[in-house]
Structure 1
Amino acid sequence: MDAEQLAAECEARGDMAGARYWRHVQAVVDEAPPLSPEQIARLRVLVWSDAEPHTEAA
């Protein structure tokens, strides 16, 4: 789900502040410079490790 879809959902609920928020997030992301290959590799490691289930010690 992208920011525009989230904004549309907010508008459907009548939440104009939420829609403005998600459009602002999209605008900030659009202005960001592209990630370097090194940054992409680092993020992949972080996302992959975060995808594993966390267990609580008893």
Structure 2
Amino acid sequence: MNAEELAAECEARGDMAGARYWRHVEAVVNAAPPLCPEQVARLRVLIWSSDSEPASAA
């Protein structure tokens, strides 16, 4: 689900503040510079390692 879809859901519920929030998030992400290959590689390692950690028993 992307920010525009989340904003549309908020609007459907009448939550205009939520819609503004998600549109702001989308604008900030769109304004960010693209990741360099090294950053992408680091994120892949972090995502992979967080997925491989066992869930803690509560």
When normalised by structure 2's length, the TM-score is 0.87
Task: State the Cα RMSD in Å.
Answer: 1.8
C-alpha displacement of 1:37: 0.1
* 1:22 counterpart residue number: 22
* 1:38 counterpart residue number: 38
* 1:13 counterpart residue number: 13
Long gaps (5+) in structure 2: none
Give the share of equivalent positions with the same residue, in percent. Answer: 74
C-alpha displacement of 1:54: 2.9
C-alpha displacement of 1:57: 6.4
